[in-house]
Amino acid sequence: MHETQGSHVIQIDELTRVEGQGAFYVRLAGDRVAETRFKIFEPPRFFEAFLQGRDAREVPDITARICGICPVAYQMSSCHALETIFEALPEADGPIARLRRLFYCGEWVESHSLHVFFLHLPDYFGLGSAIEVAERHPEIIEHGIQIRKAGNAILVALGGRPMHPVGACVGGWHRAPRRSELLALKPSLVEALERATAAALWMRQRLSPPAFEQPYEFVALKGPGEYPFNRGRLASSAGWEEEMGAWPERFEESQVPYSNAYQARVRATGGSYLTGPLARFNLNRSFLTPRASALAESLGLPLIVRNPYLSILVRMVEIAFCFEEALAIIESYQPPAVPAAPLRLKAGRAAWITEAPRGSLYHHYETQEDGSIARATIIPPTSQNQARIEEDLCALVEGRAGDNDHALAHACEFMIRNYDPCISCSTHFLSFRIDR
């Protein structure tokens, strides 16, 4: 920390409890924020470029390596887009499709529980780590461990392993599990559902989320008649719905000079928008399963949640939803006659969006006649949320400009963790600096 020419500078070299590396800079002129920069300086990884020329059937296993926390989303967005090109669409409500929803249940539980219990919860107690939370409240961390374990068990059953699973393929699955394999998961899922409910109510009683609301435009998949994982229409709280392929017509990416990741904004207005749990919940609350819906009521969540600090409770509702949905899928499951639909390799182009834990994940592919990839575009949710994070930080700092440096730095880190940013996914986050 130092002062130069009347400017007060705060520098935090590493933002903890997020995935990846980056920085945040703010310059204050009195109590007014004159400039903000949300920097993502982790090196670009060039996945879109090195997919070019590869056999399209390799894409799900390659894109799964983009993220160790949400590989299923990358696999499913690529599978659905390529299946559209190759005319290999599994039956919408058949066992292949329902297994994919089960796969997503495992990923949301695994990702949300990691974030909620081990990365985000310490902020609400003013603590530095989940270890410190465990020393004071061991029961809540035990809930988190067992909940995440149950989510990983789903990923292992369908994908062979919890990180970078390999079970999914274009057209369906390399191998469909036997009914007995899935039924064996039921006891742990039932227990985990009870733990998730108890943990959510525990949080509601003990956490005091800061007051903060902004006029967000929420964007997520919506329907059809279900809480969305990997199908539906792209919808906005601004009142429009579009087919998934309309993403580039509604939004545009631009490069900012201080970040290795693009920022996405609404094309018509240039404004930011929010994707992720709050957007899904606000646009799809009526599609929650019964116990998840009842839990949302018990937690006192408003009809429209505009406070990002309540995202920890919304994630708990989604965890409960996933366990309830998973149990229903397993109970009715019968293996498909064949695990994957045949492919007709050809030239074409298609886009698809699925809901990663952190928000909407857009994939677009163009293929050659032999089925190889000619072009790929991948737009992750953290990249889409960057501009909105910057604006939230600006509003937060202006409201607390009189705070001391330590308190303001902690408040900004807390705000950023509301988004559960996946920085490695978005490079195509954080030292902290304030100039007063």
Count the neighbouring beta carbons within 10 Å of the beta carbon of residue 369: 10
Residues whose CB falls within 8 Å of the CB of residue 219, separated by 6 or more in sequence, listed in order: 234, 235, 236, 237, 273, 274, 275, 279, 360, 384
Q: Which two tokens stand for residue 216?
A: 């967000």
pLDDT at 402: 79
- Residue 350 pairs in a beta bridge with 365
User: What are the pLDDT digits (tens) for 40-97?
Assistant: 655 566 788 889 999 999 999 999 988 878 899 999 999 999 999 999 988 878 999 9
Q: Does residue 237 surpass a pLDDT of 80?
A: yes
Range in 287-291, 308-312, 385-389 with the lowest mean pLDDT:
385-389
pLDDT at 434: 62
Mean pLDDT of the 173-190 span: 97
The Cα 295–Cα 48 span in angstroms is 40
Element (H, E) at 157: helix 138-159
Q: What is the mean pLDDT of the chain?
A: 89
Residue with the bigger pLDDT between 304 and 263: it is: 304
pLDDT at 97: 95
Domain ranges of the chain: 2-43+386-435
Could you say which DSSP state residue 246 is in? G
| Percent of residues, the chain, with pLDDT higher than 70 | 89
- Residue count of the chain, please give it: 436
Q: Does residue 427 surpass a pLDDT of 90?
A: no
Mean pLDDT of the 14-35 span: 67
Residue 328 · residue 290 · CB < 8 Å? no
Q: Does residue 1 surpass a pLDDT of 50?
A: no
pLDDT at 9: 46
User: What are the pLDDT digits (tens) for 247-284?
Assistant: 999 999 888 776 667 789 999 999 999 999 999 999 99
Under DSSP, is residue 338 helix (H, G, I), strand (E, B) or coil? coil
What is the identity of the amino acid at 422?
Answer: C
What is the b/e burial string over 82-115, where b = at least 16 CB atoms within 10 angstroms of the residue's CB?
bbbbbebebeeeebbbbbbbbbbbbbbbbbbbbb
pLDDT at 161: 87
Residues whose CB falls within 8 Å of the CB of residue 298, separated by 6 or more in sequence, listed in order: 201, 204
The confidence band for 18, taking pLDDT boundaries of 50, 70 and 90, is low
Residue with the bigger pLDDT between 17 and 408: it is: 408
Q: Which two tokens stand for residue 332?
A: 């009715």
Q: Please, what is the end-to-end C-alpha distance for the chain in angstroms? A: 11
User: What are the pLDDT digits (tens) for 171-180?
Assistant: 999 999 999 9
Count the neighbouring beta carbons within 10 Å of the beta carbon of residue 302: 11
Residue 341 · residue 333 · CB < 8 Å? no
Q: Nearest-CA neighbor of 48 among 366, 421, 423? A: 366
pLDDT at 6: 45
Q: Could you tell me the strand order of the sheet in which 7-12 lies?
A: 2-4, 7-12, 431-435, 23-29, 32-39
Residue 432 exposed, middle or buried by CB count within 10 Å (0-12, 13-18, 19+): buried
Q: Does residue 34 surpass a pLDDT of 70?
A: yes
The Cα 333–Cα 154 span in angstroms is 14
CA diameter of the chain: 73
pLDDT at 405: 76
